[in-house]
Every structure is written in structure tokens, then in C-alpha cells.
């Protein structure tokens, strides 16, 4: 496995709409290795999710996992999940604001409104259909990654930019609020 280079904000790859994968592409050993590399890269940088365009592959795949993450303490665990060609639909109009960061926008955080619960349809890494409901932080992570696959970053979703903060200032002024 290898750790992949993460594209940072300003790299045009982050603004492109990613291409769906065919079942045949998913089965290929090269693509399966790419999935392993995405997972390793996400873990290396303590991410809770990573979209393929963040590692320079404009394809509809994202990985996510929340497990005792130092960047997001006190969040419920989410098992390691691979989402290929995901589709999401909100289950409620209810929106919730909470902090988000992004490996492509290092050292910065801001408060982002997201749907509280969503229905997710995708393929897993074997090309098998996945369908589940995600709520709260789990739903937030998936909406964040889904945005990446559609050429968006969380800054585009903020209602205003007044909560934008560097991590050091986050720890100093915003923790526990
Ligand atoms: Zn991100």
C-alpha cells in the first residue's frame, strides 16, 4: 500500500465533477489497490473521510471511517465504508450546523449546515449494492464527501464565513462551545 498525495484547495481537480465507475473497473486489481491506498491515506492524515478527487483521481469513490479520531474526538464511531457511485437523498428538511475540516484545506475549520439524516445508495468495493440511512455526524461526513465528488468543498456550503478559524484558534476560542 502507499500513501497518496492530497490535492489542496486551488487544485482544479477538486472542482471537477467526478466520473462514475463501471462494475468492470471496480473489479480490476489496480482499482482495488487504489481503494487500499485511499484508506491508508485517510488514516495517515487522521481523516474521517476521503474522496478520490482529493488524491487526484476524478472518480466517484469515497472512503470513510470514524474511530477514536484525534481530529474529531467524542464523535460516534462509523465502521470503515467504501462508497462507489453514491447517491444521497435527504430524509428531512432539518439542517444542523457543526464544525468541519478538510484534508484539502489544512488547519482550518468552519461551521457548516448539513441535512440531519440522509438515505444513501452506493456500491461497495466488490460492486455489491449498499443502502442505508445515516444520521448526525455520519450523515455529515457522507454529505462532505459527496460534495467533493461533485466538485464542491465545505466552504461553498457555509452560510457565512464568520466561524472560519485556524485549528490553533479553534482550540483556544471555540472548543466546547
Ligand atoms: Zn474534504
The three-state secondary structure class of 17 is coil
Confirm whether 145 is a catalytic residue. Answer: yes
Domains in the chain, ordered, with CATH?
A: 12-174 (3.90.45.10)
pLDDT band at 96 (very low <50, low <70, confident <90, very high): very high
State the chain's mean pLDDT as an integer. Answer: 95
CA angle 132, 138, 139 (to 5 degrees): 70
Alpha helices, H only, 45-163: 136-149
How remote is the C-alpha of 85 from its chain's centroid? 14
Asked if 25 and 34 count as a contact pair (C-beta separation under 8 A), the reply is: no
- As a whole number of angstroms, the distance between CA 117 and CA 135 comes to 4
- How far, CA to CA in Å, does 46 sit from each of 14, 16, 76? 20, 25, 15
Name the nearest CA neighbour of 107 among 71, 64, 78: 71
CA–centroid distance, 50 to ligand 1, in Å, is 7
Q: Is residue 108 helix, strand or coil?
A: strand
Residue-level pLDDT at 74 = 81
DSSP class of residue 59? B
Is 103 a residue whose pLDDT tops 80? yes
From 96, 124, 115, 108, select the one nearest 71 (Cα to Cα): 108
How many Å lie between the centroid of ligand 1 and the Cα of residue 148?
A: 7
d(CA 93, CA 90): 7
pTM over 0.75: yes
DSSP class of residue 19 equals: B
H or E element that contains 30: helix 29-44
CB 139 within 8 A of CB 91: no
Assigned C-alpha cell, 56:
487526484
pLDDT at 92: 93
Ligand 1 centroid, distance to 25 Cα (angstroms): 24
Q: What is the pLDDT of residue 177?
A: 52
Give 48-93 pLDDT, tens digit per residue: 999 999 999 999 999 999 998 888 888 889 999 999 999 999 999 9
Rounded to a whole number, what is the distance in angstroms from the first to the last CA of the chain?
39
Catalytic residue among 57, 65, 100, 145: 145
Amino acid at each position: 500500500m502507499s500513501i497518496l498525495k492530497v490535492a489542496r484547495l486551488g487544485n482544479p481537480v477538486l472542482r471537477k465533477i467526478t466520473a462514475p465507475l463501471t462494475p468492470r473497473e471496480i473489479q480490476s486489481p489496480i482499482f482495488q489497490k487504489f481503494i487500499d491506498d485511499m484508506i491508508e491515506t485517510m488514516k495517515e492524515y487522521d481523516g474521517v473521510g476521503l474522496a478520490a478527487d482529493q488524491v487526484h483521481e476524478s472518480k466517484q469513490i469515497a472512503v470513510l471511517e470514524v474511530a477514536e479520531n484525534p481530529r474529531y474526538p467524542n464523535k460516534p464511531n462509523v465502521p470503515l465504508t467504501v462508497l462507489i457511485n453514491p447517491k444521497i437523498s435527504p430524509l428531512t428538511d432539518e439542517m444542523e450546523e457543526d464544525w468541519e475540516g478538510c484534508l484539502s484545506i489544512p488547519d482550518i475549520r468552519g461551521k457548516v449546515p448539513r441535512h440531519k439524516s440522509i438515505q444513501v445508495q452506493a456500491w461497495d468495493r466488490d460492486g455489491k449494492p449498499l443502502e442505508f440511512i445515516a444520521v448526525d455526524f455520519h450523515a455529515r461526513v457522507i454529505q462532505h464527501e459527496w460534495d467533493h465528488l461533485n466538485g464542491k468543498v465545505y466552504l461553498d456550503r457555509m452560510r457565512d464565513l464568520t466561524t472560519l478559524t485556524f485549528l490553533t484558534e479553534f482550540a483556544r476560542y471555540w472548543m466546547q462551545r
